[in-house]
């Protein structure tokens, strides 16, 4: 991987697994949106960024200092995903799924943002999740300017913990409002220490998160994978159940993909949603 700084931003070349569309459309995050030219704009850690493919390169409209302090780690660029795809090739289906999903990287998202976003995601669809998350940020997040446009940072747990369910009426998120506030209070009080959980093991983290009101297996496993960046977590939803049943059968154990079961999950999920056979 070669990083070059230009007056217009950062260019990444010689990287085989970096496709913004696949990274942002595989269900792991909700604050990135594309324009008609395939340029994605998003907000993370109180920073806004535009990112796109340019031939064989990836482009990011930031300077080198911001890239090194925020985006290199956010995009998990220190990890060799091509080598991981080879390691995961334990079946014909996984070889096909990982080839189709080539370019996916598991983002290192803010831990609280990921937990809150997946609380919102339960029994929901991606466009509506995005609308609720953006409304949450617009109503309660800190505004900042980037490129002449006003963006909003994700509101911290401490701020949401001070709210009542009725304060979230603008989100139109229904019963999830109570769960958002409950998760915020648990994190803000230190009852759920996300940094400590990230330093432990995935199973302990999963069980700890499930103690929060409204957090079940699916939400907790997504928060462990996408927020705590524990790459052996294997979330299972209806898409995954169907794919596992069709391609792996009874008795399937994600340990066959260890220690990268979470990356395998994203390849399977993205492939299943594409409708490819």
160 contacts 116 by C-beta, under 8 angstroms: yes
In a domain, 83, yes or no: no
231 contacts 225 by C-beta, under 8 angstroms: yes
Average pLDDT, integer, range 136-149? 95
Gap between the Cα atoms of 30 and 35, Å rounded: 15
Q: What is the pLDDT of residue 238?
A: 87
Q: What is the pLDDT of residue 276?
A: 61
Last residue of a domain, one of 205, 227, 249: 227
CATH of the domain at 41: 3.30.310.260
Q: What is the pLDDT of residue 277?
A: 55
Contacts of 241 by beta carbon, 8 Å cutoff, 6+ apart: none
Which comes out higher in pLDDT, residue 37 or 142? 142
Burial of 26 (0-12, 13-18, 19+ CB in 10 A): buried
Same domain, 219 and 116: yes
Q: What is the pLDDT of residue 191?
A: 97
What mean pLDDT, rounded, does the chain reach? 94
Contacts of 125 by beta carbon, 8 Å cutoff, 6+ apart: none
* Domain housing 173: 111-227
In a domain, 164, yes or no: yes
Is the per-residue pLDDT at 164 higher than 90? yes
Digit-coded pLDDT (tens) for 55-102 = 889 999 999 999 999 999 999 999 999 999 999 999 999 999 999 999
Same domain, 115 and 220: yes
Average pLDDT, integer, range 108-117? 98
Low-confidence winner among 11-15, 73-77, 113-117 (lowest mean pLDDT): 11-15
Q: What is the pLDDT of residue 274?
A: 80
Structural domain count, the chain: 2
Same domain, 223 and 115: yes
């Amino acid at each position: 991987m070669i990083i070059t700084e230009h007056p217009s931003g950062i260019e990444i070349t010689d990287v085989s697994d970096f496709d913004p569309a696949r990274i942002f459309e595989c269900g792991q995050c909700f604050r990135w949106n594309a324009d008609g030219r395939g340029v994605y704009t998003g907000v993370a850690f109180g920073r806004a960024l535009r990112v796109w493919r340019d031939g064989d390169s990836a482009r990011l409209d930031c300077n080198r200092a911001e890239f090194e302090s925020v985006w290199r780690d956010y995009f998990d660029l220190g990890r060799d995903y091509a080598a991981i795809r080879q390691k995961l090739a334990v079946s014909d289906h996984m070889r096909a799924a990982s080839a189709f999903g080539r370019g996916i990287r598991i983002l290192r998202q803010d831990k609280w943002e990921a937990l809150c976003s997946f609380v919102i995601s339960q029994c929901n669809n991606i466009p509506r999740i995005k609308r609720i998350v953006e409304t949450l940020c617009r109503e309660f997040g800190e505004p900042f300017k980037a490129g002449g446009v006003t963006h909003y940072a994700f509101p911290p747990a401490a701020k949401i913990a001070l709210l009542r369910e009725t304060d979230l009426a603008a989100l139109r998120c229904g019963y999830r409002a109570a769960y958002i506030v409950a998760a915020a209070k648990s994190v803000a009080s230190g009852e759920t220490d996300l940094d400590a959980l990230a330093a432990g093991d995935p199973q302990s983290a999963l069980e700890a998160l499930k103690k929060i009101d409204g957090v079940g297996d699916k939400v907790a496993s997504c928060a462990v994978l996408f927020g705590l960046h524990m790459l052996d977590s294997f979330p299972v939803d209806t898409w995954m159940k169907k794919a596992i049943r069709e391609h792996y059968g009874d008795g399937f154990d994600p340990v066959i993909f260890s220690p990268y079961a979470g990356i395998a999950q994203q390849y399977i999920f993205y492939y299943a949603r594409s409708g490819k056979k």
